[in-house]
Structure 1
Amino acid sequence: MSYVGDVTVGGSPQVRELDALTITKVAVDEKMSNNAYLLRCRETGAQALIDAADSPETLLPLIGDDGLAAVVTTHQHWDHHRALPAVVEATGAAVVAGEPDADAITEQTGVPVTVRVRDGDTVAVGAATLQVIRVTGHTPGSIVLGYDDTASGGTWHLFTGDSLFPGGVGNTFGDAAAFRTLVDDVESKIFGRFGDDTWFYPGHGDDSRLGDERPHLPEWRERGW
């Protein structure tokens, strides 16, 4: 089955094979329908999980017996780290989060953030490297993780948490200043840097390409959130 990024809670994961990285996408929790992404280095077998959102009974069998190097939490909101304690207890994985959100994640989960990252930092997944892009607004320390597959003839792949979705940026809950910051960061750090073929994987729902969303940026600004 070719990868399209359409997953449902209780359904099968979708798997995408890049030259050096395997991406497995699964949906958890019927109410929130969060996405979790297991990344596996094809050279070393090292694995990292983006957002231990819920349902360790789903995530741990997906991780399997090969271990987990790290769990990256894209932001502090409760629905993105409910399975963090169980996954870390079972695997001993390092816990990675944006520095401004780290304390809140620990307060909510009881799990120490062992690696606090900032804009421009990197996260290793075996021989593969994820770039950290801080996108402020949905939360103070939200991060996007970028993987560069262009050397293999592919494109960039961005894991955007709740900062960018097909159809708009994330919710800023009526905070006009936070919305301006978020849409500015998304426009400059994401659309201003990456090409139209860039594929992005959000924290909920379907994936998209930047080229499909780029024409709508002015509408998003006008609409606000």
Structure 2
Amino acid sequence: MTYSGVVKVGGAADVHELTALMISKVAVGPMNNNAYLLRCRESGAQMLIDAANDTPTLLQLIGPDSIASVVTTHRHGDHWQSLQAVVDATGARTYAGRYDAGGIPVATDVPVEDGDTIRVGQVALTARRLIGHTPGSIALIYDDPHGHPHVFTGDCLFPGGVGNTHGDPEAFASLLGDVRTKLFDRLSDESWVYPGHGHDTTLGAERPHLSEWRARGW
């Protein structure tokens, strides 16, 4: 079936099948967060991005093969409500941006710096620090050698704009600048964007609107 990225709380996961990686997306309440399960097709190793909430749904998504790791994109509470429970159930190693780790009340085993590589089996993803929504938010980029890049942006990039910077013009300028230089300037229009809430998008769909975002200031 064709992947759409459209999921709803209480509904089924949507699965994006790539040559080397399977990406399963599920929505959990109460804030309609997205969680993503990445599975290396060669090794079967799995990684979860954002143990946001609804532990039973996440554990069902993970399945009997468990996970080796769980990555938290940033320190806001709606992205880690189930983190401790998932770690307790799976023994997964925890990853988070170094500058957000202190705000996550579950120990971070691996503090992540800009440019670090995070692996799930034979698949490598590159972490990019995006400053503004929080000090240490990270995006994960899978530069698929068999196709176009895939980017997990947390709350830093959505269809229609960057993440909330709470009316702080410096934080907004920082986030927009990082998103531009570390994502838009380096990746192709075909790059698929998987955000922390809501529907997916592509960099090509959003690129024409960068100047509009700067002008409106959010």
**TM-score of the pair, normalised by structure 2:** 0.99
Partner amino acid, structure 2, of 1:18:
L
1:5 matched to 2:5: yes
- Paired with 2:71 and 2:151, the residues of 1 have a C-alpha distance of 13
Which residues of 2 match residues 42-61 of structure 1 at below 5 A? 42-61=41-60
Give me the whole-angstrom Cα distance separating, in 2, the residues matched to 1:63 and 1:160: 21
| Matched residue, 2:22 | 22
Q: Distance in 1 between matches of 2:155 and 2:32?
A: 12
- Equivalence for 1:66: 65
CA–CA separation in structure 1 for the residues paired with 2:124 and 2:32: 27
Task: Give the match's secondary structure for 1:8.
Answer: coil
Q: How does 1:1-225 map to 2 (within 5 A)?
A: 1-29=1-29, 31-106=30-105, 111-149=106-144, 151-152=145-146, 154-225=147-218
Deviation >6 Å, runs of 4+: none
Deviation per residue, 1:168-198 (Å, 9 max, x gap): 0000001111000000001111101001000
Higher helix content, 1 or 2: 1
Amino acid across the alignment from 1:165: F
Distance in 2, matches of 1:4 and 1:210, equals: 16
Partner SS state of residue 183, structure 1: helix
C-alpha displacement at 1:224, in angstroms? 1.0
**Structure 2 CA distance, aligned partners of 1:207 and 1:62?**
19
Unaligned runs of 5+ in 2: none
Distance in structure 1 (CA, Å) of the matches to 2:67 and 2:203: 30
2:132 partner SS: coil
- CA distance in structure 1 between the partners assigned to 2:102 and 2:202 by the alignment: 32
Aligned residues: 218
Deviations 1:102-156 (A, max 9, x none): 01113xxxx210000100101110000110011110000000000011x21x100
SS at match of 2:107: coil
Give the secondary structure class of the aligned counterpart of 2:100. helix
Deviation of 1:18 (Å): 0.5
Amino acid at match of 1:51: D
Q: Partners of 2:70 and 2:79 in 1: how far apart?
A: 11
Question: What is the aligned-residue RMSD (CA, Å)?
Answer: 0.6
1: CA distance, partners of 2:142 / 2:157: 16
